[in-house]
Amino acid sequence: MPAALHAEWTKLRTVAGPAWLLAAVVTLTTAVSALAVQANSCPSGAVCAVDTTRLSLTGVQLGQAVVAVLAVLVIGNEYSTGMIRVTLAAMPRRAVVLAAKAAVLSSLVLAAGVLAVAGSLLAGRLILPGHGFTPAHGFALLSPGTPSVLRAAAGSVLYLALIALLGLGTATIVRDSAVAVGIVLGLLYLFPIVANVVGNAQWHRHLEQIGPMTAGLAIQATTDLRSLPISPWAGLGVLAAWAAGAMAVGGLLLRLRDA
Amino acid sequence: MTAPTITPYRSDAPPGRDGFAQLVRAEWTKLRTVRGWIIGAVIAALVTMGLGWFAGVGGSSSCSSGSGPARSGQACAPQFTEGPGGEPVTDTFYFVRQPLAGNGSITVRVSSLTGELPVMHRGLVNPNQQERFRPGLQPWAKAGLIIKDGTTPGSAYAAIMVTGDHGVRLQSDYTQDTPGLPGAVSPANPRWLRLTRSGDTITGYDSADGTHWTQVGSVRLTGLPPTVQAGLFTTSPIYQSLTENFGGGSNGSEEPSKATGVFDRVSLRGSWPASAWTGSYVGSGDFSPGIGSYRQSQGRFTVTGSGDIAPVVSGPSGPGGPVITIANLLIGTFAGLIALIVVATLFITAEYRRGLIRTTLTASPRRGRVLGAKAVVIGSASFVTGLVAAAAAVVVGEAIARSRQYIFPVSWATELRIVVGTAALIAVVAVLALAVGAMVRRSAAAVTLVIAIVVLPYFLAIIAALPDSVADWIVRLTPAAAFAVQQAMPAYPQVEAIYSPAGGYYPLTWWAGLLVLAGWAALALAAAIALLRRRDA
């Protein structure tokens, strides 16, 4: 296993793509969070039902797309260049190969995620007080010392790692980068769009409970937890189930198929 | 001796032609012989249809309020009153009236319009009776004169009124609206209103001092019976409090509001057979619970009412709960779009990956035409797929949904525009994906880019925590503007509602939205052709 980890790390660090994509995760997440925070304001005297932590972490909704693409490319590029044959010839224990890819990818995404989430919360802490979200108005300054904010931040970092695993599993199943990207982005962004249209309140709630993004992002909520479709950690659990399922099926197919 | 002449070999086959049609045929062969791409197109159609039918099935479990689940096969009774044009309307107000037999006119001075709004905190009403209302006037609260064909909700009418924030208006038949004198009404700043009926034509006048009258407008209500009801009315639309749930759209809570208008100097001309005024509540009462009253003392009328005389708007903020239009049945467009984006991108990037691009460019050195032929092929294939999918989603989805929930009726021309427009949208996005794929030459990057500029703006506009102004500009400038073809209901300026993409209202008209998308695709295609010519392969 250590040799496999070393091999996968070499593959990722010697190509320019992953580094740029990780940088893009950090910058896009922080930028979109800053934009979302900048665009909201709470005039004095009004009651604003705004979850400032969740608002500051809005950028994760775009950063997750870049994470998904990175995860898909980690194995998709091997198939498109034909290098998968070399990899599987050198490391015949295929489960180890997939596990090593997952481990290296998750650690990189966790690191980038920490930077991205820290940047988003910093943007929120700096910008929000100037837009009326002051302690006097009932909105505490965003600080990692608050348990709920810490939960939201740590949960968002874990969220990004789980999205990466979901992408890796999907790409292993379909073996084509473009199709895998389409499937993963569709799974993420279509559940809330479809749920929005369904009139039946019960079905709406169920769709939001099983969708990977809608359930996973429940971890970011710090206020009004009763109105969430699913409780925060249970939501992250739903996303973990999606990721585990994708990785399990991918691993099985990797073993059963030719390459 | 001479060498025997050797006839050079000449093939019997006809000479090949290097025409655009042959190129299109070659590209079509490439598309149809890759089993995976055909499967992708079929999946796109199936997913579009499936999600549309799901939206049709997943409606409210009860059809009309309080009647329980609808039995299968039974058409759903409309929840809303229908106006003279068949459109769903709300017709709720307090009416102080007398019958008008034949021609005549009624003049009145409105000296005040005040109102009360419900006290709501985080979407809930204060249960304490005394503190349920606070002073406040809805911008579209109305008080004035109305001539109506009876008191049945949904009947034809013409009304001239003062409003909370929009001055004097002449409105008729729920959808017509003409402005008059601007400015709010107060005892120091009264407004005089007059309605004159002559046969089928009703003319409205207003004045600031009672002597100098201006005609605001004239409407013709065909088929008006000889005896109509005419008099004073007051009404005030539902007060909406919107709380946004990030990642789950927004919840609207609505409570009725009240308005009180003070009228005096009432003067009647013409044939008014009765001598006393009757005050009554007009409306279906299913949403505004019968709020209304009037007091008359020495020629001064104080009329309080609640409700609205306006068309119903669709979307999450519609009265009585979410209602759907056939545009909701096309929610599957996103899924089908993603699948066809993948196919269109692979159509060009697979050539690069497999090396077929060298053969293609050797066989057809005119590179612009190669890309043009590809665009023609993938555009037509996507158009046909989209047309089949959208038509099936709408036709079958409507049949499924009609027995379960109320769908807003739209004219067949609108329905045709929505279906064909969706197919055109899908086709142009496929061409855009082809162009981006030709520029970037990497399939995953191209798919991500195209999904980011087509699907994500719509997603950000309706789901994420961006305020309306930012979301508005995002939907105007990105290719997601083309989703305006799916707008089924017009946005009425005289009805206060949240007109947002979440409810099916887009900032651009349908042809402007398609033009924006076509502009993006044309630019991308031009750039792709330029790059293809300059680069090696």
How do residues B204-226 score in pLDDT, each as one tens digit?
998 888 889 999 899 998 888 88
Residues of B with Cβ-Cβ distance to A185 under 8 angstroms: 338, 448, 451, 455
Query: CA-to-CA distance for B537 and B528, rounded, in angstroms?
Result: 12
Residue B137's domain is classified under what CATH number?
Answer: 2.60.120
Are A53 and A148 contacting, i.e. CB atoms less than 8 angstroms apart? yes
Q: Domain check: are B42 and B130 in the same one?
A: no
Closest alpha carbon within chain A to B442: A178
Closest alpha carbon within chain A to B315: A197
Among B44-53, B304-313, B462-471, the range with the most confident prediction by mean pLDDT is B44-53
Query: CA-to-CA distance for A165 and A239, rounded, in angstroms?
Result: 10
Best CA proximity match to A227, nearest among B315, B501, B60, B247: B247
Query: CA-to-CA distance for A166 and A164, rounded, in angstroms?
Result: 5
Q: Domain check: are B307 and B351 in the same one?
A: no
Q: Domain check: are B434 and B297 in the same one?
A: no
Residues of A with Cβ-Cβ distance to B345 under 8 angstroms: 178
Question: Of B283, B311, B339, which one is at a domain's C-terminal end?
Answer: B311
DSSP B199: T
B230 interfacial to chain A (CB closer than 8 Å): no
Whether B342 sits inside 8 A of A40 (CB atoms) is: no
B81 occurs within a structural domain: no
Confidence tier at A10 by pLDDT (50, 70, 90): very high
Of B74-88, B95-109, B383-397, B519-533, which range is least confident? B74-88
ipTM over 0.85: yes
A226 occurs within a structural domain: yes
B244 occurs within a structural domain: yes
Range of the domain at A247: 2-253
Burial A232-252 (b: 16+ CB within 10 A, else e): beebbbbbbebbeebbeebbe
Q: Domain check: are B176 and B206 in the same one?
A: yes
Q: What's the structural domain count of chain A?
A: 1
- Four-point Cα dihedral B51, B54, B60, B61, nearest 10: -170
Whether A193 sits inside 8 A of B459 (CB atoms) is: yes
- Which residues numbered 308-337 in B keep a CB inside 8 Å of some CB on A? 321-324, 328, 331, 334-335
Confidence tier at B123 by pLDDT (50, 70, 90): low
Query: CA-to-CA distance for B107 and B213, rounded, in angstroms?
Result: 11
Q: Domain check: are B104 and B176 in the same one?
A: yes
Pick from B345, B444, B464: which is nearest to A58 by CB?
Answer: B464
- Which residues numbered 16-45 in B keep a CB inside 8 Å of some CB on A? 40
**3-class DSSP state of A237:** helix
Among A227-231, B381-385, B497-501, the range with the most confident prediction by mean pLDDT is B381-385
3-state secondary structure B150-175: CCCCCCCEEEEEEECCCCEEEEECCC
Task: Give the per-residue pLDDT at B69.
Answer: 39
Other beta carbons within 10 Å of B297: 8
Q: What's the structural domain count of chain B?
A: 2
Which tokens in the block code for residue B479? 């290719």
Query: CA-to-CA distance for A5 and B116, rounded, in angstroms?
Result: 69
Query: CA-to-CA distance for B416 and B430, rounded, in angstroms?
Result: 21
Range of the domain at B244: 91-311
Pick from A51, A181, A198: which is nearest to B444 by CB?
Answer: A181
Pick from A40, A189, A195: which is nearest to B459 by CB?
Answer: A189
B413 occurs within a structural domain: yes
B205 interfacial to chain A (CB closer than 8 Å): no
Mutate to test the interface with B, among A77, A197, A230 (most CBs of B within 10 A): A197
B70 occurs within a structural domain: no
A259 occurs within a structural domain: no
Mutate to test the interface with A, among B242, B448, B483 (most CBs of A within 10 A): B448
DSSP B47: H
DSSP A225: G
Could you tell me what percentage of chain B is helix, strand and coil, using 3-state DSSP and rounding each to the nearest 5? 40, 25, 35
Q: Domain check: are B338 and B192 in the same one?
A: no
**3-class DSSP state of A146:** coil
Q: Domain check: are B204 and B273 in the same one?
A: yes
Which strands, in side-by-side order, build the sheet including B88-91? B81-82, B88-91, B309-311
Other beta carbons within 10 Å of B269: 12
B116 occurs within a structural domain: yes
Residues of B with Cβ-Cβ distance to A178 under 8 angstroms: 342, 345-346, 349, 443-444, 446-447
Long-range contacts of B511-514 (CB under 8 A, 24+ apart): B512/B481, B512/B484, B513/B481, B513/B482, B513/B483, B513/B484, B513/B485, B514/B421, B514/B424, B514/B425, B514/B428, B514/B482, B514/B484, B514/B485
Question: Of B282, B311, B340, which one is at a domain's C-terminal end?
Answer: B311
Torsion region of A138: left, alpha or beta (phi above 0 gives left; psi -120 to 50 gives alpha):
left
Q: Domain check: are B304 and B329 in the same one?
A: no
Q: Domain check: are B190 and B47 in the same one?
A: no
B155 interfacial to chain A (CB closer than 8 Å): no
CA distances B516 to A7, A18, B116, B529, Å, are 47, 33, 44, 20
Q: Domain check: are B306 and B328 in the same one?
A: no
Q: Does residue A12 carry a pLDDT above 60? A: yes
Distance of CA B110 to the CA centre of its chain: 35
Calculate how close chain B gets to A77, using CA atoms only, in Å: 10
Calculate how close chain A gets to B305, using CA atoms only, in Å: 28
Task: Give the per-residue pLDDT at B68.
Answer: 37
A258 occurs within a structural domain: no
Mutate to test the interface with A, among B241, B242, B338 (most CBs of A within 10 A): B338
Say how many residues make up chain A. Answer: 259
Query: CA-to-CA distance for A66 and B411, rounded, in angstroms?
Result: 43
Whether B322 sits inside 8 A of A199 (CB atoms) is: yes
Q: Name the residue with higher pLDDT: B293 or A212.
A: A212
Calculate how close chain B gets to A205, using CA atoms only, in Å: 9
Which residues neighbour B11 within 8 Å (Cβ) at sequence distance 6 or greater?
Answer: none
- The model carries a pTM of 0.84
Q: Domain check: are B159 and B138 in the same one?
A: yes
Residue found by looking up tokens 């398609």 in the block:
B514
Q: Name the residue with higher pLDDT: A65 or B53.
A: A65
As a whole number, mean pLDDT of residues B428-442 equals: 96
Mutate to test the interface with A, among B253, B443, B483 (most CBs of A within 10 A): B443
Are B374 and B20 contacting, i.e. CB atoms less than 8 angstroms apart? no
Question: Of B311, B336, B353, which one is at a domain's C-terminal end?
Answer: B311
Which residues neighbour A60 within 8 Å (Cβ) at sequence distance 6 or greater?
Answer: A29, A33, A116, A117, A120, A156, A159, A160, A217, A220
Q: Does residue B391 carry a pLDDT above 90? A: yes
Whether B464 sits inside 8 A of A36 (CB atoms) is: yes
B73 occurs within a structural domain: no
Confidence tier at B524 by pLDDT (50, 70, 90): very high
Which tokens in the block code for residue B125? 């009403």
Query: CA-to-CA distance for B328 and B38, rounded, in angstroms?
Result: 27
B69 occurs within a structural domain: no
Calculate how close chain A gets to B152, using CA atoms only, in Å: 30
B139 occurs within a structural domain: yes
Closest alpha carbon within chain B to A226: B245
Calculate how close chain A gets to B182, using CA atoms only, in Å: 29
